[in-house]
Chain A
């Protein structure tokens, strides 16, 4: 087709249409993409049983579309955390007294109960920003930054992602990089790994040179790299495969977690003689100590299947790291329309992990201390299941509303060969039950 013809098509078509419709020239079209802000808000309650961690979280995500697929999103999340968290020590047949992390005071756990540090209380503010920019017709570039602040924690992160469509947009490949620097300034200072829990009077709650044996703020750096491919298999089947590598280095221990030192025969705690006027731990406990680097590899695969308005979303993740933790996650969701603009979405998730190689229930008093050790239940061998249901609908004003209720159950697997003496028959893993309730509301463009 010649250039002249090409340019004339619009006017020739206008003339032909005019003849067909028998009317005068129509008013010139005025159509725009609706550009503006849309908001995604959610209020989430997460509550663990036994008065453990409770989190109330409010999040707002604002998204602004610009011409030509440019896209800005800004997020704000506020969390209020309260409750108690297992401090890593084992339940005993006697009461146990611990020094509070902030120093100066102690708390006591009755016999037969899991020791919880109930001084745990925090507020977290997190912000994020992302900019998406098309590069030509087939590629997208995305850059973002994030920051969050808690009383004892500061996170700063940067991320970038590039994706490219080809094969008639049936295939998308992507590569992403994220770096973050986190600073940890624990309440009462940073304890030295695998040293004895100090007494309340020794711990003045100041870090650095003011208090004894507790150090100043620490930091860690994390680099994440992800490569992904998304393939449209058929008009109603989509598959995605991602590989990601994550490298953490720096201070990776939890400054609030301890390990129980036990008698090598009885498996019971070792009492510490109490000097008059000294308020300190009743038994021998050590601050945990983790390696200062961790490298994780993950393979994630997801399939989305559309069938008559229903969407089945199945995914599996395998993660392995140099702490010897291997985990499997299977996640399944089914979005089931139940009428005009209404849907139900059942959700099931199974998770299973092996323990870190330095995870141990307790340390034997008198044995040489290992290089690394932690009794944090999150590094143990455990299985978890999440079961939930979400219901969503469109409000009279055309906005999206949803409610979600989920139950989470985590239970540890402890081999009887790891138990010493009286530990047999005791509860050694703090199993966890939690409830998650979320209300979501989406409005704007």
Chain B
């Protein structure tokens, strides 16, 4: 979710045995592969998916003044009443906070005031981290649906859930609008609507910034279900030979040590896949052990 507002338009082109609708949302290239032949129908369906992605982006972007996130973050200690959809997302985030024993935390975004992951060696001082940590922690938040009250200076950010949620929402809308099979792909987080008929499965490539990685360039086939990837090999800090991943532990305020570069998980929905990959990243060196215990298929890139 970003402040830059790129032109909101969609295009439809011929793909391999499908029509490919494309647009930009949430700072990512998005596509809807449709197993249909009618260009205007593909355009209509892509517009529905795009409208949902843009709606979610506008509503939950932490950069857009006046939206619900801005009003919560700008409340300066006052309670804010939220709408049902926001309430459900916050409930969901609270469940994840409990499941992860506090490591998944939608209030951890303010840590980025001291941590800037730009490939540089700018490591904040321990004191600076400690200071900002006083404004981090779901346990400091009063959440009585639909009233949310935070300490002044605290912020929430639903960016860690938004994209996967948007994929699942768009998939649900497409399922209601058409009987065809679709692959909804928002910047690499994706879900299949109905098993494809023209092919055995949708083909999806796992990309990696590092060609040395064993899981780089793997081709996956997805008949039904979803895939999501967490992590970004391009975002890190290098300081005194230590590589700091951009995955921050809200309990310590410091990057999770030994986190994989990225984790891709297959699950029934994109939201589940995304949360499992995020939780795995937060496990650092134990990412694979954690995922093994969840009995899910995953691809871990330690480049």
Residue B275 at the A interface, CB < 8 A? yes
| A13 and B165 within 8 A (CB) | no
Sample of 28 A–B contacts (CB below 8 Å) = A6-B290, A6-B293, A10-B294, A10-B295, A12-B99, A13-B96, A13-B99, A16-B96, A17-B275, A19-B91, A19-B92, A20-B271, A21-B165, A21-B172, A26-B225, A27-B268, A29-B268, A29-B273, A30-B201, A30-B224, A31-B221, A32-B221, A34-B219, A165-B302, A168-B258, A169-B302, A235-B119, A235-B236
| A31 and B223 within 8 A (CB) | yes
A14 to B267, CA, bound (A): 10
8 A Cβ contacts from B201-239 to A: 201, 203, 209-210, 212-214, 218-227, 233-234, 236, 238
A residues apposed to B, CB below 8 Å: 1, 5-7, 9-10, 12-14, 16-17, 19-23, 25-34, 69, 137, 165, 168-170, 172, 230, 232, 234-235, 238, 398, 445
A7 to B62, CA, bound (A): 33
A295 to B172, CA, bound (A): 68
A137 to B224, CA, bound (A): 28
Total interface residues on B, using CB and 8 Å? 56
Count chain B CB atoms within 10 A of each CB in A26, A398, A445 and give the residue with the most: A26
8 A Cβ contacts from B263-297 to A: 266-269, 271-273, 275-276, 279, 288, 290, 293-297
| A9 and B279 within 8 A (CB) | yes
B residues apposed to A, CB below 8 Å: 16, 88-89, 91-92, 95-96, 99, 101, 119, 165, 168-169, 172, 201, 203, 209-210, 212-214, 218-227, 233-234, 236, 238, 243, 258, 266-269, 271-273, 275-276, 279, 288, 290, 293-297, 302-303
**B293 in complex: contacting residue of A7, A137, A238, CB < 8 Å:** A7
> How close is A436's CB to chain B, nearest CB, in angstroms?
26
Given A16-B91, A19-B91, A29-B268, 18 extra CB contacts under 8 A: A10-B295, A14-B272, A16-B92, A17-B92, A20-B89, A21-B168, A25-B268, A26-B225, A28-B224, A29-B222, A29-B267, A31-B220, A32-B201, A69-B214, A168-B302, A169-B213, A169-B302, A235-B210
A29 to B269, CA, bound (A): 8
| B16 and A30 within 8 A (CB) | no
> How close is A4's CB to chain B, nearest CB, in angstroms?
12
Q: Which B-chain residue is minimally distant from A165 (CB atoms)? A: B302
> How close is A31's CB to chain B, nearest CB, in angstroms?
4
| B209 and A26 within 8 A (CB) | no
Contacts of B119 in A (CB 8 A): 235
> How close is A399's CB to chain B, nearest CB, in angstroms?
12
**B220 in complex: contacting residue of A21, A32, A168, CB < 8 Å:** A32
Contacts of A9 in B (CB 8 A): 99, 279, 294
Contacts of B101 in A (CB 8 A): 1, 5
| A20 and B88 within 8 A (CB) | yes
| A232 and B269 within 8 A (CB) | no
| A445 and B219 within 8 A (CB) | yes
Contacts of B273 in A (CB 8 A): 29
**With A29-B267, A32-B220, A34-B219 known to touch, is A10 a contact of B296 (CB < 8 Å)?**
yes
> How close is B126's CB to chain A, nearest CB, in angstroms?
23
| B233 and A17 within 8 A (CB) | no
| A29 and B210 within 8 A (CB) | no
A398 to B16, CA, bound (A): 9
Contacts of B236 in A (CB 8 A): 235
A13 to B16, CA, bound (A): 35
A7 to B238, CA, bound (A): 35
Q: Which B-chain residue is minimally distant from A172 (CB atoms)? A: B212
A22 to B175, CA, bound (A): 14
A234 to B241, CA, bound (A): 10
**B243 in complex: contacting residue of A7, A168, A445, CB < 8 Å:** A168
> How close is A250's CB to chain B, nearest CB, in angstroms?
38
A10 to B267, CA, bound (A): 10
**With A14-B272, A32-B221, A235-B236 known to touch, is A230 a contact of B293 (CB < 8 Å)?**
no
Contacts of B16 in A (CB 8 A): 398
| B219 and A14 within 8 A (CB) | no
Contacts of B172 in A (CB 8 A): 21, 23
Contacts of B295 in A (CB 8 A): 10
A27 to B165, CA, bound (A): 17
Contacts of A30 in B (CB 8 A): 201, 222-225
